[in-house]
Amino acid sequence: MLEAVPYDRGATDSDHREVGMSTGVTRSARHRALACLAAVGMTASLATFTQSTAAAAVAQPRPVEKTPIAVGSGGAVSSVDPEATAIGLEVLRRGGNATDAAVATAAALGVTEPYSAGVGGGGFFVHYDARTGEVGTIDGRETAPEAMPRDAFIDPATGEPYPLFPEMVTSGAAVGVPGTPATWDAALREWGTYSLSEALRPATHLARRGFVVDEEFRKQTLDNAERFSAITSTADLFLPDGDAPEVGSVFRNHDLARTYAELGRRGVDWFYTGPVADEIVETVQAPPLSGRTDLPVPEGHMTAEDMAAYEVLWPEPTRHDYRGYEVVGMGPPSSGGTTVGETLNILERFDLASMGQEKALHHYFEASALAYADRARYLGDESFVDVPTEELLSDGFAAERVCELDPTAAAPKPVAAGSADGDYDPSCADTGGTVVDRPDTEGPSTTHLSVVDRWGNVVSYTLTIEQTGGSGITVPGRGFLLNNELTDFSHVYDPADPNRIEGGKRPRSSMTPTIVFDDGKPWLVLGSPGGSTIITTVSQTLLNRIDFGMDLPTALAAPRATPRNTATVSAEPAFREAYGSALSGYGHEFSSSSEIGAMAAIEVSPDGTLQAVAEPERRGGGHAGVVRPAR
């Protein structure tokens, strides 16, 4: 079992290593330099940044056109939102590094994408340090309250699980202890040059100034109108006068601006042990019901002690080779690193590039199904279950799993899990295993951002409040929604299930922030939202880029399918139109999905040129930018 070292958020800056920029400038040295500059009357870049963002706060917001592709140098940011990407680029432009920009971008997404991410949620942060060549990861996943019962999602009136949506999702029982504020603070202390207050300042101004509502924001609000109207504080914020904000109107969140400002000024202890902690606990234990709907909104079990005990962890990243590249990702409780890794390890035994596209996709479908079978069998919180991460990513295990892949026909689903025990038989004499057929309950929301700075530092960061709109419960007066991450646990308790409900445990996740290295240097930075489809979105994008020879924009825009060891493969209409008939000939059956994932990626060319790419259309499209665009 990998050791995950907790982060002491009570320690001072001097108690933690502060790498800062690759030039070796630490935060304390930077502050001394700024003080000296101020003493001789010079203008510090940070002061200029503060003035510019303050001026922007009073300017009238305008619609921002999304640009999915940007090429240039000096640093790059890719996210789903133009306001957030612009804030990250401005941090890079004014001397901040990748971590500074990532936190500032994430905070901005908490303003403009409040139904996908925010301080009420959690996530996984992957960082590459160009100076040391090291990759570090932060597990900021939400945690179950210690008192959470095994039957938390069972309706006492019927003895059956609550319907997942909206009854189970919209509840205090679904809320885990948030990890995002602790993640931001830990990342900045370890790798950043900004303080938390500095990193939050642009998003604070954005929340106060507001942003122009687009069709996607209004649609997401309307899709959740019943849930939002059940909670007084949520309805007041997101359904003023009983309706979603109109497209073209300006949405402002003064409560969140005050929360960000105070969090920056007082630090994360204020969030986890101060008044905000008490307010979160009160809201979870007694959601402020409006009485306008019949939703039951079960009460939660979180306590002030749960909030105070929260710590981010620092697990080892997952690593594996694929056709000469090193793919580095997130370890448990994320299942992304191991499942993408196993899928690619299986596929590496075939020459996909020489096959026809349909045959290669059949191999991908079958390899992914095998990896998802092992995900269900083995993946969970390493503090509670023994996850055989090394075995799942081993060549020996992949060679044995290949025995179950028929190049000519689809196997009946679900397929059985393998035996990740270190005793492998690549002769295919005996590879039988156990079928694990448990429903997947992860919601399709979340958001992702990718950052590269001028020194070559890299961040791949996926963050979430789980379902679109999270639990639907807004902390009164604070301007942010609480997560529903605990619905990611299996809803019916099974002692053999690694993702069973247990107090103090972190639910399994599919978030897959990834960095791909070519000859030891970062080449691709990528990740996506989408619940359990995140894994297939990352896998398919890597296949498109590496095996099928697509450039990065084409690899992202290509139609997607999500083979997850289920009876049918969910696929976008364009995918079914292009490949459905041929793949049906292998025995694959399809179900329809309007869209899968929303990738945000950056590619680094050998000469250092950066190509930032975001989704052109899915989820309303994303926005990519570089500090110095190429002519």
Is 90 in contact with 46 (CB distance < 8 Å)? no
Q: Which two tokens stand for residue 509?
A: 């996740």
Task: Convert the pLDDT of each residue in 157-202 to its tens digit.
Answer: 888 888 877 888 999 999 999 999 999 999 999 999 999 999 999 9
Neighbours of 260 (CB within 10 A): 29
Q: Identify the band that residue 10 occupies on the pLDDT scale cut at 50, 70 and 90.
A: very low
Q: How far is residue 535's CA from residue 332's CA, in Å, rounded to a whole number?
A: 14
Say if residue 17's pLDDT is above 80.
no
| Global pTM value | 0.91
Annotated catalytic residue: which of 180, 221, 273, 446? 446
Task: Convert the pLDDT of each residue in 565-589 to its tens digit.
Answer: 999 999 999 999 999 999 999 999 9
User: Is 446 one of the catalytic residues?
Assistant: yes
Task: Convert the pLDDT of each residue in 78-114 to its tens digit.
Answer: 999 999 999 999 999 999 999 999 999 999 999 999 9
Is 70 in contact with 601 (CB distance < 8 Å)? no
DSSP E strands, 80-231: 122-128, 135-140, 211-212
**Residue 414 preceded by cis peptide, ω within 30:** yes
Say if residue 479's pLDDT is above 70.
yes
Q: How far is residue 250's CA from residue 246's CA, in Å, rounded to a whole number?
A: 9
Say if residue 423's pLDDT is above 80.
yes
Specify the 3-state DSSP secondary structure of 514.
strand
In percent, the amount of the chain with pLDDT more than 90 equals 82
**Per-residue pLDDT, 553:** 98
Q: Identify the band that residue 6 occupies on the pLDDT scale cut at 50, 70 and 90.
A: very low
Picking from 109, 123, 116, the residue whose alpha carbon sits closest to that of residue 181 is: 123
